[in-house]
Structure 1
């Protein structure tokens, strides 16, 4: 029995007919004459003339699919992913450069610190109690070690043997929020020296070096010394030259053959030799050793200001040259670490920015005649004790104690 075409399952190669002829209905519901039907059994399809306008339009899809030409690909903006990858690459390069620069900034001082000379400054026996805050002994020695004959002549240092101090300072860094304090101890201060009677404090260094000087300072002040830093003539001058000189306001015309200077009054840039003479000179100073101590604190403030400028820190070769020059003339105590040196530098920098106190120990007589007949500096005992007690107890000092000699560090 033949299968009804309308019920047969279609195959893949069957033709699918799309009839687009208009179906126009008669009033009774049937097709008009000549109209076609989608049903092949519809009588209206029989007898339709070929090529009639209402013929079926057949699409044969057997065995093939209509091919549609690909539309041309429009060029749009660059893919967001590519921009992100490029941005990440730039950030990575910048990050590596920053990391390398930070590593360089850290490596330079560490490398320089490892070359610093070490000295034994730790006193034997009983010492003052170590309280809060940090106290450092900063010494400028007149050691000629490392100076050539030409430099000795240029700087007018002479050829004296042995060791003496031109600068003795106690630097206090507070733990309680107080300002850093730099206190000058005049080298002619008349004080008791353990095992050697009373003498100028400079004699302690000449007799027993850093250890006896530290012990003398601790005994006379009652302050525990946490670290020791010493710089000699050669390192001093080379450091100034490494930063292309320092700007200082000279208070008056200064001519001192023994210090090798002939300076005019006014603000000016001093090279290593003139800066060294400026802080060493005392015979032409009406304040003698006290005036020299004030100039030394003024100079250290100006030097720290110059060292901290972008021109010194951000120029790689100058930064390294400054660090190497600092280390070349520096000697530190065996128990003094890099962080201790950093605290001292920060204290001097604060003083240079008027954020710290620069003082000299209170004095009672600048021309005290010693039993040996020499002239020395005699401290005001009560006022000096009050100052050192405040440092020992880490009491914040916002103003200098009464009787202290104050020296501002600014040079404008």
Structure 2
């Protein structure tokens, strides 16, 4: 066999092996996906808008953490259901956009009066939280994804850490955050402290949601970078850790997760925007709920209307 033919055969063999690897990884990943009944029909549910909308949740479940892990992660023994993170991701002809709904947002919870938005998860799990978000925003969620504390830490450690830059020092003994101004290479425990810190942040929950947005962008950028995607010995453990950390709705597949991750990377690379729902003010006291965040009704409506129609979101009234 001539050298040109040998080279051609070798290249074809590599292509076949690559396709087989990708197909095998895709099929395997489909068997590792954890699902939960998060989306359900109900009377008055908003109609589907244009584009794709995700509800992204960071749960505060500590039921599976050991005593040592609780100490290391600076979390207590509470085994109740809570959410530290509530976000919506939109992509389509417009976007992608990542919209944070602060956990202290004061919204109606179907069947439970009006309270902080994270109370919906504690009262009724993913289904009630999804319904609460849909009715508060007028947007129908097409997908749901949830990450837990332990998975949060393991994914970052498997990636070899993430790099996050701080414009100001961040110190919060309750979360374990202790970072000076500038850029830091953070492991999973440090990254968790970074996104949970809020008690020493003068902006409170609003400051925290901005850190959560930056963190998610950093994870997506690292996960979908060439050093991971082109190295099977890194890609497989990262995919395994990512799927172990995630719980998604029953209709979400591997392809959907890939599109979600790519949209997050686009935002991190400057191809989209991260914003927070406009608020009328912070620190407002409400009976039975404590200090809450009340949305700027007009600004929030303009934002949600743009997302529903898959139009560019307003440049004013959000940050």
TM-score by length of 2: 0.95
Q: CA-to-partner distance for each residue in 1:215-263, whole Å, 9 max, x for gaps?
A: 0000010001000000001111111111110011022222222212221
Please say if residues 152 and 245 of structure 2, whose CA atoms lie closer than 8 Å, have aligned partners that are also in contact: yes
Answer yes or no: is 1:115 the counterpart of 2:47.
Answer: no
Question: In the alignment, is residue 339 of structure 1 matched against residue 263 of structure 2?
Answer: no
Match of 1:304 in 2: 220
> Which structure: larger Rg?
1
Corresponding residue SS for 2:98:
strand
The aligned counterpart of 2:239 is 323
The answer to whether the 8 Å contact 2:63/2:79 transfers is no
**Range that drifts further, 333-342 or 348-357:** 333-342
Please name the residue that 1:403 is paired with: 317
> Secondary structure of 2:127's partner?
helix
Structure 2 CA distance for partners of 1:323 and 1:145, relative to 1, 3 Å:
farther
- Give 1:354's aligned residue: 270
Question: Which residue pairs with 1:44 in the alignment?
Answer: none
Runs of 4+ in 1 over 6 A off after TM superposition: none
Relative to 1, partners in 2 of residues 1:113 and 1:281: Cα closer, same or farther, differing over 3 Å?
farther
Q: 1:234 to 1:299 in 2, by over 3 A?
A: same
Partner of 1:101: 18
Match of 1:31 in 2: none
Give how far 1:342 is off: 1.9
- For residues 200 and 18 of structure 2, what CA distance do their matches in structure 1 show? 47
Q: Which moved more, 1:151-160 or 1:354-363?
A: 151-160
1:130 CA displacement: 1.0
- Structure 1 residues 180 and 150, CA gap change in structure 2 (3 angstroms): same
Rounded to whole Å, the distance in 2 between the matches of 1:273 and 1:286 is 23
Q: Measure the CA separation in 1 of the matches of 2:293 and 2:215.
A: 22
Per-residue displacement from partner, 1:338-364 (whole Å, max 9, x unpaired)? 232222111110110010010000000
Q: 1:374 aligns with which of 284, 290, 295?
A: 290
Do residues 252 (structure 1) and 252 (structure 2) align?
A: no
The one of 289, 307, 318 aligned to 1:391: 307
Q: Aligned partners of 2:159, 2:306: CA distance in 1, in Å?
A: 36
Q: Provide the secondary structure at the position in 1 that maps to 2:86.
A: strand
Greater RCO (Cα-Cα under 8 Å, separation 6 or more): 2
1:162-311 pair list within 5 angstroms: 162-174=80-92, 176=93, 178-311=94-227
Offset of 1:95 from its aligned partner? 1.4
Taking structure 1 as reference, are residues 108 and 150 closer, same or farther at Cα in structure 2, changes over 3 Å only?
farther
In the aligned structure 2, how far is the partner of 1:326 from the partner of 1:113? 12
Partners of 1:349 and 1:184 in 2: CA distance: 16
* TM-superposed deviation, 1:380: 0.2
Q: Is the 8 A contact 1:173 1:343 kept in 2?
A: no
Counterpart CA distance in 2 for 1:352 and 1:337 is: 23
Cα pair 1:109 1:323 within 8 Å, conserved: no
Separation of aligned partners in 2, 1:103 and 1:396: 40
Deviations 1:168-187 (A, max 9, x none): 1010011x3x2200000000
- Residue in structure 2 matched with residue 138 of structure 1 by the alignment: 56
Counterpart Cα distance in 2 of 1:199 and 1:292: 20
Hey, what's the Cα distance between the residues in 2 that align with 1:110 and 1:234? 25
Shift of 1:373: 6.0
Normalising by structure 1, report the TM-score: 0.74
Higher helix share: 2
Cα distance in 1 for partners of 2:198, 2:30 equals: 32
Summarize deviations over 1:306-334 as a string: whole Å, max 9, x none: 11222212222211110010011110011
Describe the shift of the 1:124–1:308 C-alpha distance in structure 2 as closer, same or farther (beyond 3 A). closer
2:66 matched to 1:148? Answer: yes
Does residue 92 (structure 1) correspond to residue 9 (structure 2)? The answer is yes
Per-residue deviation, 1:105: 3.2
Q: Is the 8 A contact 2:159 2:222 kept in 1?
A: yes
CA contact (8 A) 1:387 1:401 kept: no
Structure 1 residue runs without a partner (length 5+)? 1-81, 406-412
Q: Which runs of 5+ in 2 are unaligned?
A: none
CA pair 146-324 structure 1, distance change in 2 beyond 3 A: farther
